[in-house]
Amino acid sequence: MDLAIIDQSKPGVPEEQIKLVNDVLNYAGKYLSLPENTEMSVTFVNNDEIQRYNREYRGLDKATDVISFAIEDDGDDLPLLIDDEMADDIAKNIGDIIVSVDKIGEQAEYLEHSYERELGFLVVHGFLHLNGYDHMRSEADEKIMFDLQREILDSYGLKR
């Protein structure tokens, strides 16, 4: 997976945590059998910046932990005239996730697990939203998404 990680947080995300995000999301991509040319981005921000995103895009004037911006193909675009072999080479951008580093720390402390576990939880949570999972549609969808999230994190080694 082609993963862009952008750190706009202060004082910044340590390199070993950037590596963890890269590793766990690549693992999650393989777990879901995504094509290797899948693209996405993760941007780390502080609470004030994620609050701005939350207000602007969701109408909620408060900080949150993670926001996902999925790039969905609604089929309204003009068709590309390419053969199947070329189609395999074209990267598929699934979207962007924004993560609050402040919320990672707050929630890890509250839930009494490691910062790394919460970091992994939030990026996998956002990643699953980019791939069409949505815990807010129904209780059944919530169970499917949260079970898959736990499976990915547990099998990767980030257990609660």
Residue 113 per-residue DSSP state = S
Mean pLDDT of 103-123: 96
- Across-strand partners of 37? none
Domain ranges of the chain: 2-156
Residue-wise pLDDT tens digits, 65-81: 999 999 875 545 445 55
Which structure tokens are listed for 58? Answer: 């969701």
Residue 158 vs residues 10, 12, 17, 31, 69: alpha-carbon distances, Å: 25, 22, 13, 15, 25
pLDDT at 88: 64
Which CATH number among 1.10.8.60, 2.40.160.50, 3.40.390.30, 2.40.128.110 corresponds to the domain 2-156? 3.40.390.30
pLDDT band at 11 (very low <50, low <70, confident <90, very high): very high
Decide: pTM greater than 0.75.
yes
Tokens of 33: 């059998």
Do you find a cis peptide bond into 11, omega within 30 degrees of 0?
yes
CA distance 19 to 23: 6
Which pLDDT score is estimated for 127?
A: 98
Check the CA dihedral 102-103-104-106 and report its sign.
Answer: positive
Mean residue pLDDT of the chain comes to: 91
Least confident of 35-39, 116-120, 121-125: 35-39
Residues making up the annotated binding site for Zn(2+) are: 125, 129, 135
Binding-site positions read 125, 129, 135
In contact, 66 and 80? CB cutoff 8 Å: no
**Which residues are CB-neighbours of 119 under 8 A, at least 6 positions away?**
17, 20, 21, 99, 104, 108
* Band (92; pLDDT cuts 50, 70, 90): confident
